[in-house]
Amino acid sequence: MLRLNRNILISGQDSNCRGLIINMQNNSEAATQSGTSELDAVLQVVNELARKSASGNYIYRGEPECYDQVSSSLYRDFPVDLPLGFNVDALQEEDLVEARKFTFETDDFAILTELQHYGGKTNLIDFTADYLIALFFACDGKHLKDGRVVLLEREGEMDDHIYGPRNPINRVIAQKSVFVRPPLGYVEPDDIVIIPNSLKRFMLDYLRKSHGISAQTIYNDLLGFARYREIHQDALRHFHTAFTNEMNGDYQSAINSYTKSLDLNPSVFVYNNRGIAYASINDYDSAIGDFNQAIALDPDDAAAYNSRGLAYASIGDYEHAIEDFDQSIALDPDDADSYSNRGLAYLSKGDYNQAITDFSQSITLDPDIANNYVNRGEAWLHLCEWDNAREDLGTADDMGVDIVQSFRNDYENVADFAQRNGITLPADIAEMLDG
């Protein structure tokens, strides 16, 4: 029995899966090559923005899709067919008259930025002084649509309508916010860089790893968190639906909902969870594909290596499984599950001493994983270490493990064990395992 961090994955060993192993190895290599080409594409976009920025004095706005206009929320609140001469800024002034009754603040711009902060309709458009932050906003959300970064010259006719924040809050500082108050309610961009939807998740990964720009740094207060939740609410809803279905054993429904969540917001833990759901219906090719995606997004995620190792072990590819468990342990040396899983891979390979070492380390980290005792007990049997075998099998039995059934997962009975391994078990141990 192979053990996941989150639940149990029961795996059979099928010698007919060798062709499938080759396909999976090719998938892994293809994922590596694909990751390199996508990084090149990401850097091409970043370099394009850097070149454009060098030619002018710009501020930037990231949008997750290519809207018809770059406009304020107050302007967008009105019908498209506005009458000739409609003055959105005059409407803003009327709002300010009422807003002053609700605050001790006397500065109009400070009132507007506070309203903007709390989600009120204003004639301000959020920009940033940093094109990398604009890239984050262009990629964070609406993953099925192309995003864009809008460039606006600070100088010229818009110069008098660009404002820096006063008494900025943490989130405004983190976002390097700049505000534009357009007289007409919208602005005409000086330049635009399109971000293909296929690059969004790779761009977010690049920004997080190379520049420390992520949801946690951009939305660094509770109101920001609420905004982040609003943007990704549909993805979260699909995720929790999938997770509930998975816990109830409805793996196909879980896979469908995880897929919807990934379409809206690709993330490591959703790929990992969908991979586990695929493995639960023995679709190991799809499972490994998802674990590859999780690792591509975050090569430091120990759980993804552990999960992929389990999938490889489930099809008998113990070499690749052990490589993944090695990486999982290197990233998280206190994870008892990874040692337990690597011990099972070594046990399946016939490396009983290494299996015992791993089971023992797992037991040291977490003495309550009952299967470690029955698995280590089986390894002792192969080494004819009878006293140790009796002790471990007895401990597993006391912890509620059906040691007879566990033994029969690998052997038909004691006689089958003796025939296949050339080992005759002591009578008392044979009685324990024959039931």
- Express each pLDDT in 104-145 by its tens digit: 777 777 777 777 766 678 888 889 989 999 999 999 878 788
CA–CA separation, 279 and 82 (whole Å): 55
- Phi and psi based region of residue 206 (left: phi greater than 0; alpha: psi -120 to 50; beta: remaining): alpha
Phi, psi of 152 (to 5 degrees): -130, 125
Query: What is the b/e burial string over 70-95, where b = at least 16 CB atoms within 10 angstroms of the residue's CB?
Result: bbbbbbeeeeeeeeeeeebbebbeeb
Give tens-digit pLDDT for 139-191.
987 878 899 999 998 876 676 777 766 555 555 566 788 888 888 888 899 99
Burial of 400 (0-12, 13-18, 19+ CB in 10 A): exposed
Q: Are 213 and 169 in contact (CB under 8 A)?
A: no
Longest dimension (CA), the chain: 99
Tracing tokens 């949801």 back to the chain, one arrives at 215
Q: Are 112 and 122 in contact (CB under 8 A)?
A: yes
Q: Which domains does the chain have, with CATH numbers?
A: 2-37+232-434 (1.25.40.10), 56-229 (no CATH)
Per-residue confidence in pLDDT tens, the chain, 435 aa: 344 333 333 333 332 222 222 233 333 444 444 456 888 999 999 999 999 988 878 999 999 999 888 988 888 877 655 555 567 777 777 777 777 777 777 777 777 777 776 667 888 888 998 999 999 999 987 878 899 999 998 876 676 777 766 555 555 566 788 888 888 888 899 999 999 998 998 898 899 888 888 877 776 555 555 555 555 677 788 888 988 989 899 999 999 999 998 887 788 889 999 999 999 999 999 999 999 999 988 889 999 999 999 999 999 999 999 999 999 999 999 999 999 999 999 999 999 999 999 999 999 999 999 999 999 999 999 999 999 999 999 999 999 999 999 999 889 999 999 999 999 999 999 999 987
Cβ-based neighbours of 125, under 8 Å, separated by 6 or more: 61, 70, 71, 72, 179, 180, 181, 182, 187
